[in-house]
Chain A
Amino acid sequence: MNLIPLSHILIFSLALFGIGIYGVLTRRNIIGILISIELILNAANINLIAFSQTTSLSPETGQVFALFVIAIAAITAAVGLAIVLALYRARKTVFADEVHLLKW
């Protein structure tokens, strides 16, 4: 861990976060948007693990909260993909810009 400085890890996870944001903004497919959200959560997890080894009060804290983030990512995937399947059954589309029932 002290081989590479903390700021390099933070820059790396920042790049991962930016790529995820770009994916959320530009993908049309809802599943593609969900995949990009997983990238963003993963970047946050890398930060938590890196901080748990350098700046945190006790070394377990970061890892425990990274576990919580992984659990919430699994919840996001399950509920999001259930919504996608229900939407596909009702409207026969998975593209976010074609779902404009409530838009005028």
Chain B
Amino acid sequence: MDFLQLAVKTGIYALMAGTLVFALGVVTLKNLFHAALSLAAVLIGTAALYLAFHAEFMAAVQILLYVGAVITVIIFAVMLTEHIAERSILQHNKQSLPALLGVLALLVLIGKVLLKTPWPVNPSTLDARVSVSDLGVALMGTYVFPFEVISILLIGALIGAVVIARKGSHP
């Protein structure tokens, strides 16, 4: 039992480390197609992390919506726009060093704050299993207003995307 727990713990930490390596690939790879594939790996790793947190429905949604839909759209856009033949184009601007220093300072600041914060633990949510029907009741009961707002936003954004991307739409 103890050995099994240790194995699961090691597995979760290894998953986190692998996800971070792929995330570094997302921002540093020169070929944008490879960066998109690396983003897919990050999203799949996150879905596995959700499984470890007992959020099975969220893992399924992550795989279906992110890896299925968003990655496909991004890869389509890469293939429609990028000059595949030209490899010599500079992919990063000249702000790499200031950006790195600024991001490191921000990370140290936030990390110090969140390590000092005493996070309260609600014992009733610890290891609680949320079933899909619980989520559905919450969506249709307590959170019905944000749910409706999201649906209107979604339909508006999809119509807007079609209008923007249509040929000859600019006057």
Contacts and interface: CB of A to CB of B under 8 A. Distances in A.
B70 A84 contact: no
B90 to A, nearest CB: 7
Interface residues on B, range: 35 or more
B20 A19 contact: yes
B161 interface: yes
A99 interface: no
B63 to A, nearest CB: 11
A73 B53 contact: no
Dominant secondary structure at the A interface: helix
A31 B135 contact: no
A102 interface: no
B130 A42 contact: no
Given A31-B32, A42-B43, A23 B130 contact: no
A1 to B, nearest CB: 5
Nearest to B28: A23
B150 A63 contact: no
A47 B136 CA distance: 21
B139 A90 contact: no
A39 B43 CA distance: 8
A79 B74 CA distance: 11
Given A53-B125, A57-B122, A4 B35 contact: no
B5 A3 contact: yes
A7 B91 contact: no
Interface of A: 1-4, 6-7, 10-12, 14-16, 18-23, 25-29, 31-32, 34-36, 38-39, 42, 45-46, 49-50, 52-61, 63-64, 66-68, 70-75, 77-79, 81-86, 88-90, 94, 97
25 contacts: A1-B54, A1-B126, A4-B12, A7-B119, A11-B114, A12-B16, A18-B103, A27-B93, A28-B90, A31-B78, A32-B27, A32-B32, A39-B27, A59-B125, A60-B134, A64-B135, A67-B61, A70-B62, A71-B153, A74-B154, A78-B73, A81-B76, A81-B161, A82-B160, A94-B81
